[in-house]
Structure 1
Amino acid sequence: MVAGLCRSLRDGVLDRCVDVFPCLADPARRSNLVLRAALVVLHLIYAGILFLFDDDLIEKTKKEPWYTALYLLLWIATLVQYFLTAGSSPGYVIDAMRAVNQRNVTYRKAPLASKQPASSKNGSLLVAVEGGSGTNSQGSNATSWAKLVMDMYPPGTSVRNFTCSYCHVEQPPRTKHCHDCDRCVLQFDHHCVWIGTCIGQGNHCRFWWYICEETALGLWTAIFYVTYLQANITRAWWKDVIMIVLLIFLSILIIFLLLLLLFHSYLVLTNQTTYELVRRRRISYLRGVPERVYPFSKGVCRNLYNFCCFRTNIYTFEPLPTPLELEEKLRPYTFLDVLKCRCC
């Protein structure tokens, strides 16, 4: 009887919330909102308790306000970067396909005698192919999506081999269907529950910067906590207990964030994704590639440039490397290669 009363009360509260906030009707969006609210509350707790308990920090802030201002600036930047990453698109295949189709429709409607390139509503959205002639939404050559994708696979590949059985669209290389988002993602890395969205070509750089900022913020906060405990360990025992418990939990998070930052930095330098590294033997285009060969790597410098200078309005497709390119990547470096910066 009591359980039934609690359930009816809970359902009534949820119905009221859904009426006020329609977005809460979707369980997935509701869980994302709860997770994001919990992350904001966690940041507020760590910063609030620090300024509430540490009188020395308040005095230092009055004398050197720039130090605390930098910490608060990093705190705000971390939360802003989190919400930017969570709200960004990882690069869905369906969006790239629509851009190509829109370009083709606009190209056909353009007058043949006009010397100006055809424009469309997606005129600022580009589709570039690595290692070949890039196509864009304002280009003069209309290419169908299927032909564009087939050109990135070895000759003789069947359309069925790279057609998604869920979305029924042709997948470019390095694409995977995410069952949580129910969409195919370009350069799929993983579905991040923490962020609430997929990590792919469109937001991997933002995700890396968020991890970097979160790690720096955690280390800085841990320094504040350790400094407080060293100066006030014998004053109020209940404050010390709260600070120690929070510091232990924060230390675990910092270790996890540091490992995650190093792991994704390695992926960036070698132009890999988490999915490709973990499922290397199960991915068809990586089965015949030796373990120590990175088929999509273009050197450390160019990998970093493509990763950091990636524009969110560009969909970049990387064709599968040819056997000659794989053989070249397999060849060990010589002293002459180092002088020529082959590794870069």
Structure 2
Amino acid sequence: MGQKLFRSGVCVRATHTLLTWAVTLSLFLHDTELRRCEERGELLLPLLFLLLVVLSVLMYFAVSLMDPGIVLADTAKGSLEETQAMIPQSLTPRLRRCGYCLLQQPMRAKHCQVCNRCVRRFDHHCPWIENCVGERNHRWFVVYLVVQLLALLWALHIAFSGVSPHVTWELWLRANGFLLAALAVAAVFSVVVLLLLGCHLYLVSINCTTWEFMSRHRISYLKNCDSEENPFDRGVICNLWNFFCICKTVMWEQMYHRNSPNAV
């Protein structure tokens, strides 16, 4: 029962929420820049920070509970022919059935053994959101990382503003203990989120997923390409536009010749 509850993501999401509000509460209760603004009656800064924290929590739950692009059924015949037509003959891989759920896998899809389902344009399974990152929620995952990083960096600045000097180390630790704990949590997560965001922005700019980048030598449609060749890359600007633009549907399986801007 406990294992099933943990696998459902309840414990992970509850931990994230409790940590977020514990750090936020400690910043408001100590003599930080936020507290001093409240005492002066300047509520704009505290409200903006609180709104950013709320936005980060809402983004977290949205990405965590969103459908990442689950493959629900076999590819229809017409859709299969259309997909194969988007792939150059020299690179055409044989589409295969998943060895776990026995569904016909679209190209760039992968079976997640944690979630026990196939996900389109699979990037990775994120244990912190207890969900896969794939075709439908990848852009929102990156947006969430940006919002989370802004909230963490702001929290670091506020926490530093509240650290007060004392005569002895013992008194200093006693007075700043909770604030130092919040500072440590914010610092660790800031580094992690910054590294994660940098990696994802780089992969997005070349239209590659984490799974494809890490397991290139084992993927049928990539292992026969040159080491520096990515058949999905259309250039940094076009890749970023396709990824972040929500106004159109992108065919992520479409492959391109390295020396030609036109799809085959």
Q: Sort the TM-score into its range (normalised by shorter chain).
A: 0.7 to 0.9
Q: Kindly report which structure 2 residues correspond to 1:218-237, keeping only aligned pairs within 5 A, or say none.
A: 218-229=152-163, 232-234=164-166, 237=172
1:308 matched residue in structure 2: 244
Residues in 1 aligned to 2:106 and 2:56: alpha-carbon distance in whole angstroms: 33
Answer yes or no: is the 8 Å Cα contact 1:91–1:315 preserved in 2.
Answer: no
Pairing partner for 1:86 from 64, 83, 102:
64
AA at the equivalent of 1:37: A
- Does the 8 Å CA contact 2:156/2:183 hold for their aligned counterparts? yes
CA distance in 2, matches of 1:67, 1:40: 22
Contact 1:152/1:172 (8 A) holds in 2: no
Which residue of structure 1 lines up, in the alignment, with residue 253 of structure 2?
A: 318
Q: Deviations over 1:100-141 (max 9, x none)?
A: 76xxxxxxxxxxxxxxxxxxxxxxxxxxxxxxxxxxxxxxxx
Counterpart amino acid of 1:272? C
User: Displacement, 1:149?
Assistant: 4.3
1:240-273, Cα deviation, whole Å (9 max, x unpaired): 2332233223212111111111110101111110
Give the 3-state SS of the residue equivalent to 1:316 in structure 2: coil
1:38 corresponds to which of 15, 22, 46: 15
Aligned-partner Cα distance in 2 for 1:315–1:326: 19
User: Residues 228 and 293 of structure 1: is their aligned pair in 2 closer, same or farther, counting only changes over 3 Å?
Assistant: same
Amino acid at match of 1:326: R
Q: Which runs of 5+ in 2 are unaligned?
A: none
- Take 2:258 and 2:252, find their aligned partners in 1: how far apart are those partners? 18
Matched, 1:28 2:7: yes
CA shift, 1:37, in A, is 0.6
- 1:217 paired with 2:195, answer no
Q: RMSD across aligned C-alpha pairs, in angstroms?
A: 2.8
Q: Report the count of equivalent residues.
A: 256
Cα gap change, 1:162 to 1:149, in 2 (>3 Å): farther
For the residues of structure 1 that align with 2:13 and 2:6, how far apart are their CA atoms? 14
2:216 to 242, 257, 280: 280
C-alpha distance 278-56 of structure 1, shift in aligned 2 (>3 A)? closer
Which residue number corresponds to residue 201 of structure 1?
Answer: 135
Identity of aligned pairs, percent?
Answer: 31
TM-score by length of 2: 0.86
Q: Which residue of 2 aligns with 1:73?
A: 51
CA distance in 2, matches of 1:205, 1:276: 17
- Residue range with higher mean Cα deviation, 303-312 or 143-152: 143-152
Within-5 A mapping of 1:63-142 = 63-94=41-72, 97=74
Tell me the TM-score normalised to structure 1 length: 0.67
1:242 alignment partner in structure 2: 178
Alignment of 1:127-206 (within 5 A): 143-153=77-87, 161-206=95-140
Distance 1:280 1:267, change over 3 A: same
Structure 1, residues 269-327: CA drift from partner, whole Å, max 9, x if none? 11110001111111121112223223211122221121112369x57342344xxx134
Q: For residue 140 of structure 1, what is the aligned residue in structure 2?
A: none
**Which residue of structure 1 lines up, in the alignment, with residue 207 of structure 2?**
271
- Where 1:267 maps in the other structure, the secondary structure is helix
Letter aligned with residue 253 of structure 2: E
Unaligned segments of structure 1, at least 5 residues = 1-10, 15-23, 102-142, 330-341
Name the amino acid aligned to 1:28: R
> Which protein has greater RCO, CA pairs closer than 8 Å, 6+ apart?
2
User: For residues 196 and 144 of structure 2, what CA distance do their matches in structure 1 show?
Assistant: 11
